[in-house]
Amino acid sequence: MPGFELFSDLERKEVNDVLESGVLMRYGFDGARNGHWKAKELEQELQRILNVKHAQLTSSGTTALNVALAVLGVGAGDEVIMPTFTFVASFESILAAGATPILVEIDDTLTLDPKAVEAAITPKTKVVMPVHMCGSMADLDALKAICDKHNLILLEDACQAVGGSYKGKKLGTIGDAGCFSFDYVKTITCGEGGAMVTNNATLAKNADHYTDHGHDHEGNDRGAESHPFLGYNFRISELNAAVGLAQVRRLEDFVAIQRKHKKILKEALATITEVSFRRIPDQEGDSAGFLSFFMPTKELTDKVIIAFKAFGVDAYWNYYQNNWHYVRKWKHLKDKISLFPLSNQIVNGMQDLNTIQFPQSDDFISRNISCLIKLSWTEAQVHERAKNMVAAIKSVL
């Protein structure tokens, strides 16, 4: 990842179809679009590739989460369990729904710890939201069992794991609904875009309406359509969908490249006794967008990061120091800083994130380094990178 590294004439052809028709909106203007319906085609391709009954495109991965929570009936007074390690969109979407985010520990998968999830359940809990971070999956068997036991909704945030799978099923299709991001730095990109997928026909129908101001999309006169309920403008444009349409048809090739490159790097680092790797519940289902590993201590991890710079190794993250992905630096969430007043249910229902401790998460994240797997590397470049990574790590041991 990301897919923009391999833009080609395939993407240009799909975009030119839209530009030549002049119709950039996904709905209406039937006569002028010359038969081009890029958003509809992309939804159909997603359904085929993911083996899921319904896919609804949105303007981003964040709005895909907004839509999913809305159609699942999540709102004021509900609690949504989410991990301490994710992207800020997870809690943003929960707050936008009027619900309360409840943060819990991650484990060595770098995703939700099932034991922490079970311990956090209250009578207000409605949703468990695992986030398949850095290309790999949460322990979905354990999480699904918890949801079934407590009659909770399982909502998969698969925004960073398109193309991954778990025991033969594509990530995002195992829970009640799943969400994807196709922003500029994802394995397949629309530039900006996302999707909610589900096998539930009612959820899918409501998502179709909700993303377009509540339009029911019945008949062929957009101005005469009714609005069965409130909705918002979370539509994707035909231009964005056109890019994604070309990219999604290349997804299997992209994932194969990622897996090939990651295997070379992982085998090289595995020769170092002090290096351990994140646990992946289904190795065969790893989308391989990242190589995530641990050093024995935070101090050694910090030294490796400095050494990587000295040895010319780029495109890696230590999320412990990151503002976007780990609870430690989410000051705006901790202090509940909002441009609009948050409801009393949220203010009074949230954990005090300035005092609560997440020692298990701190341990894993402070010792973790996650390296991006680029699609554009040549095999020679991957081997050179592997050599430099090994040399950098050994230099501090």
Same domain, 194 and 168: yes
**Which of 302, 300, 315, 351 has its CA nearest to residue 330?**
351
Same domain, 321 and 214: no
Give the span between the Cα atoms of 197 and 43, in whole angstroms: 9
**Which of 383, 150, 185, 175 has its CA nearest to residue 290?**
185
Give the span between the Cα atoms of 190 and 240, in whole angstroms: 5
From 194, 225, 250, the end of a domain falls on 250
Average the pLDDT over 41-64 and give the result: 98
What pLDDT sits at residue 9? Answer: 98
**Residue 220: pLDDT above 90?**
no
Same domain, 235 and 270: no
Residue 263's contacts (CB-CB under 8 Å, 6 or more residues apart) are 288
Q: Are 198 and 184 in contact (CB under 8 A)?
A: no
In this structure, what DSSP letter does residue 284 have? Answer: G
What DSSP element (H or E) covers 371? strand 368-372
Same domain, 107 and 93: yes
Give the span between the Cα atoms of 259 and 351, in whole angstroms: 39
Give the span between the Cα atoms of 352 and 197, in whole angstroms: 33
What are the tens digits of pLDDT across the range 95-134? Answer: 999 999 999 999 999 999 999 999 999 999 999 999 999 9
What pLDDT sits at residue 119? Answer: 98
> What is the value of pTM for the model shown?
0.97
Residue 322's contacts (CB-CB under 8 Å, 6 or more residues apart) are 329
99: domain CATH number is 3.40.640.10
Domain extent, residue 323, equals 252-395
Number of domains observed in the structure of the chain = 2
Same domain, 124 and 217: yes
Average the pLDDT over 142-164 and give the result: 98
From 185, 217, 250, the end of a domain falls on 250
What pLDDT sits at residue 132? Answer: 98
Same domain, 215 and 150: yes
Active site residues: 186
From 185, 216, 250, the end of a domain falls on 250
Same domain, 204 and 320: no
Same domain, 236 and 257: no
Average the pLDDT over 284-301 and give the result: 98
| % of the chain beyond a pLDDT of 70 | 100
Same domain, 245 and 337: no
Confidence of residue 32 (pLDDT cuts 50, 70, 90): very high
What pLDDT sits at residue 91? Answer: 98
What are the tens digits of pLDDT across the range 299-333? Answer: 999 999 999 999 999 999 999 999 999 999 999 99
Average the pLDDT over 271-297 and give the result: 98
Give the distance from CA 233 to its chain's centroid: 21
**Which of 48, 106, 73, 27 has its CA nearest to residue 177?**
73
What are the tens digits of pLDDT across the range 340-382? Answer: 999 999 999 999 999 999 999 999 999 999 999 999 999 999 9
Same domain, 125 and 218: yes
Give the span between the Cα atoms of 321 and 306, in whole angstroms: 13
Question: Which two structure tokens, joined as six digits, stand for 256?
Answer: 């194969």
Give the distance from CA 202 to its chain's centroid: 23
271: domain CATH number is 3.90.1150.10
Same domain, 103 and 161: yes
Same domain, 221 and 355: no
Instruction: Name the average pLDDT for the chain.
Output: 97
Confidence of residue 59 (pLDDT cuts 50, 70, 90): very high
